[in-house]
Amino acid sequence: MKVTIDGIEIDVPKGTTILQAARMIGQEVAPPTMCYYSSLKTSGGYCRTCIVKVTQGSAANPTPMPKPVASCRTEVMDGMVVENVTNKDVLEARKGVVEFLLVNHPLDCPVCDQAGECSLQDLGYGHGAATTRYEFPRREFERIDIGKYVQLHMNRCIMCFRCVKVAEQLTDNRVHGVMHRGDAAEISTYIENVIENDFSGNVIDVCPVGALTDKTFRFKSRVWFTKPVDASCDCKKCSGKVRLWMKGEEVLRVTARKDQWGEAEEFICNTCRFDRKKTSDWKIEGPTKVDRHSVISQNHYNHLNELKVQVLKQQKALGFMDINKRP
């Protein structure tokens, strides 16, 4: 099936969603996602961040769709024409969605451990809404410890349902879910039950905000002061392929490796995540490649060589002499 997204045509198999087709094209046209997670079945459709405009339904019926559609839940039709970043209305509508997501968000980024790798932070910053129009009290919850390792800050939750899908699909005995409805909805365990399952720690990785955080990493360091390193170990329960967040020789945090969409490549077990906090536990493969513009790459000089090559190239083009070369 041929589908055109932001003027770029691509051939995709039947049953592909608009979002998946856009991701096949690349990061520039792919809509942002807060609730869709490609490795979790039935995820998506809650947050409305990925809305796009369909200006032509299909080749057979070229009428445009009347409203923006959630691209993660809409399958492509042959000859469909989609507009994402090229349509001002879409960006304006998405800005509205961001405002809705932030209605009850406490904006405690200076305290939150997720700051620096938070999808909501990126989204809010990207859409440039620094002020809020919301004048009413935000809903407040007490912090809840879910088990030994995970802490739930319900204040920050945006109800993406990703953690519930993880519990459903990854762990064998689901003990947490969403209680109540609408404004009163909250992630909770059944009578403060403890989540104890080998893969329960993955709820931390899938959480797009700082609602579910690692208690072993709580307030240890801001993420941009730690250095991400890819490492692996022989683990019986999971693949053992992880990312270590190090400060000097110390392993402060272990997470799954995330791809360009911020999604975990392979889910890891709790032993790897919470108990292996020594460098000797791991076989280190090398530093993680981080986008130079990310705050994570602040104060790290992984890209110095790459930068140097670029600078030298520019200087050469301007006719500068190479001062490093001896005559």
C-alpha to C-alpha distance for 153 and 123, rounded to whole angstroms? 20
- Which of 10, 225, 230, 279 is close enough to bind another protein by CB under 8 A? 225
DSSP of 5-65: ETTEEEE--TT-BHHHHHHHH-TTTPPP-SS--TTSTT--SSS-TTEEEEEE--SS--PPP
How far apart are CB 158 and another protein at their closest, in Å?
16
Q: Does 61 bind another protein (CB under 8 A)?
A: no
Q: Among all chains, which residue has been given the structure tokens 């890819």?
A: 230
Question: Are the CB atoms for 3 and 82 separated by under 8 Å?
Answer: yes
Q: Give me the residues paired with residue 3 across strands.
A: 10, 80
* Number of residues binding to another protein, judged by CB under 8 A: 31
3-state class of 77 per DSSP?
coil
286 binds another protein (CB under 8 A): no
Q: Does 148 bind another protein (CB under 8 A)?
A: no
Angle at 300 between CA 262 and CA 30, to 5 degrees: 25
Spatial CA neighbour of 94 closest among 127, 118, 121, 125: 127
In the set 15, 67, 131, 323, which binds another protein (CB under 8 A)?
131
Q: What is the 3-state secondary structure (H, E, C) of 159-174?
A: CCCHHHHHHHHCCCCC
HSE (side-chain half, CA atoms, 13 Å) at 265:
11
Closest residue by Cα to residue 245 from 269, 270, 271, 221: 221
- Of 22-30, 190-198, 218-226, 271-279, the window that binds another protein (rule: CB under 8 A) is 218-226
The DSSP secondary-structure symbol of 320 reads -
Q: Does 321 bind another protein (CB under 8 A)?
A: no
For another protein, the binding residue among 14, 67, 219, 304 (CB under 8 A) is 219
Least distance to another protein, CB of residue 106, Å: 7
Our CB check for another protein shows the closer of 217 and 267 to be 217
Give the residue with the Cβ less far from another protein, 152 or 242.
152
Both tokens assigned to 251:
């392993």
Question: Contacting another protein (CB under 8 A), which of 280, 299, 305, 324?
Answer: 299
Q: Say whether residue 304 binds another protein (CB under 8 A).
A: no
Ramachandran region of residue 245, left (φ > 0), alpha (ψ -120 to 50) or beta?
A: beta
Looking at residue 77, its amino acid is: M
Task: Answer yes or no whether residue 312 interacts with another protein by CB under 8 A.
Answer: no
Closest to another protein by CB, 247 vs 313, is 247
Query: What x/- string results for residues 171 through 200 when contact with another protein is judged by CB under 8 A?
Result: -------------x-x--------------
Q: Could you tell me the two tokens for 49? A: 């961040």
Least spacing, CB of residue 222 vs another protein, in Å: 4
From 73, 95, 220, 300, residue interacting with another protein (rule: CB under 8 A): 220
Can you tell me which of 25, 73, 86, 224 binds another protein, judged by CB under 8 A?
A: 224
Rounded to a whole number of angstroms, the minimum distance from the CB of residue 142 to another protein is 9
Stretch that binds another protein, among 19-27, 130-138, 252-260, 285-293 (CB under 8 A): 130-138
Chain residues binding another protein by CB under 8 A are 106-111, 115, 130-135, 137-141, 154, 184, 186, 218-222, 224-225, 295, 298-299
